[in-house]
Amino acid sequence: MRNILIIGAGKSTAQLIKYLADKASSENLQLIIADRDLAQAQALAGNYDCANAITLDIYNVEDRKEQITKADIVISMLPARLHIDVARDCLALSKNLVTASYISDAMKELDDEVKKKGLVFMNEVGLDPGIDHMSAMRVIDRVRDAGGKMLLFESFCGGLVAPESDTNLWNYKFTWNPRNVVLAGQGGAAEFIQEGTYKYIPYQRLFRRTEFLDVEGYGRFEAYANRNSLKYRSIYGLEDILTLYRGTMRRVGFSRAWNLFVQLGMTDDSYTLQNTEAMSYREFTNLFLPYSPTDSVQLKLRHMLKIDQDDLLWDKLLELDLFDDTKKIGLKNATPAQCLQRILEDQWTLAETDKDMIVMYHKFGYEINGKKKQIDATMVSVGANQTYTAMAKTVGLPVGIAALKILNKEITTPGVQLPIRREVYNPILEELEENGIIFKEYEVPYLGYNPHHQ
């Protein structure tokens, strides 16, 4: 028996376990699902004969080491900040490791030691980061192999609600961590490069500088810039590229409406408010508006943000019950961002029957034989239900495939790494295609610059 230790029984682990459980008899696998919450681990272990659920407190060093010692490979599905202790144990105990998270500085520092021991620490092998790296490098390497020179790379991804479950005016529901959605774009300007010129978008302008993207069969989307696109130059070997831009996808109109919260200050997470536990949604909204002895909260907000009452923006705000005097925030010492999140969770939490959707869109501009060309590639994945979501599928499947390939010594290059080499991305992408995660490629005229980025 070969033991795979899976630490963390969160939202994206269900699909990972199903994938490995389906392979268990042919690959001789035993799965140990470890979580602080035993019931959660048991729910995922379910009826699989090959899976055992155990309680594991990640801060209990002895327990952690004991479980890692028994494993043939370790998959950490913990929050990113908790991987490092697991990684250090894996290094000390000579175990390979797989995570879906960005490589932290602390993780990077282990690289030399990991190489010396001949271990594979595969990170960033989920969705974004993960599938984005692999699908991008496959096309970039193909262009280079043919003698082409990369001129432009743009990449967009969004976790959205499937069309059949799209039931609100925002065309959006939370499919992942709501806090990350509320805080998106904060902590510095978005930076990218456009036709050889560095560009910066400060947070207060971020949601008004969007780009439109059309996805066959799914209509039109918009995208706003991610914080730092420039780090991908060195990762993808695109140091000379003229245009490099990464963004987050939403349905058209979301960003314009979200910008109202930014302008009001409701997304601020840097200070706490008074008496938030007993505060009503209406009182919360009123905190950010000027005092008036006569005007209603609604009127003050419309005046301040210059919204007409027949504007769809107004209907979007009404839909969130921002002016409701009976609903309470119910959180102690909350920041504005935490209060806003609480309000949004009322309306944007997926219902039991709702399905989510992942959309990814790449643009590759290149020059070959003196001609400029462009390839656009799109991928759409729709969830099956609330357990086997599109998010769980696109994060869990590549993690599971990578773990099995490492276990079977098909991926052997040692070090702390991400999946940008052919020996890694080719077999994983092939197997993802067998599971319905497929990129459709289109040759389109090369535009070079995008007017929205100016």
pLDDT digits over 193-250, tens only? Answer: 999 999 999 999 999 999 999 999 999 999 999 988 898 999 999 999 999 999 999 9
Tell me if 394 sits within 8 A of 381, measured CB to CB: yes
Q: Do domains 2-123 and 131-254+352-389+436-453 have the same CATH topology?
A: no
pLDDT at residue 309, as a whole number:
86
Could you give the count of Cα atoms lying within 13 Å of 40 in the half-sphere of its Cβ? 15
Tell me the pLDDT tens digit for each residue of 347-393.
999 999 999 999 999 999 999 999 999 999 999 999 998 888 999 99
Residue 166 one-letter amino acid: D
Q: Which helix (H) or strand (E) holds 76?
A: strand 73-76
101 Cβ contact partners less than 8 Å away, ≥ 6 residues apart: 80, 83, 123, 124, 126, 129
Break the chain down into helix, strand, coil percent, rounded to 5.
Answer: 35, 25, 40
The mean-pLDDT minimum among 120-124, 125-129, 396-400 falls in 125-129
Domain boundaries, the chain: 2-123, 131-254+352-389+436-453, 272-334
Q: Which fold has domain 2-123?
A: Rossmann fold (3.40.50)
Q: Is the dihedral of CA 329, 331, 334, 340 positive or negative?
A: negative
49 Cβ contact partners less than 8 Å away, ≥ 6 residues apart: 24
Give the C-alpha separation, 223 to 252, whole Å: 8
Three-class DSSP category at 269 = coil
pLDDT at residue 379, as a whole number:
97
pLDDT at residue 187, as a whole number:
83
The average confidence (pLDDT) of the chain is 94
Counted residue by residue, the chain has a size of 454
Q: How confident is the model at residue 120 (pLDDT cuts 50, 70, 90)?
A: very high
Tell me if 75 sits within 8 A of 98, measured CB to CB: yes
Select from 3.90.1150.10, 3.30.360.10, 3.30.70.20, 1.10.240.10 the CATH code of 131-254+352-389+436-453. 3.30.360.10
For the chain, the farthest-separated pair of C-alpha atoms sits apart, in whole angstroms, at 75
Other CB atoms within 10 Å distance of the CB of residue 254: 22
Give the C-alpha separation, 404 to 72, whole Å: 11
- pLDDT mean over 185-191: 90
pLDDT at residue 453, as a whole number:
54
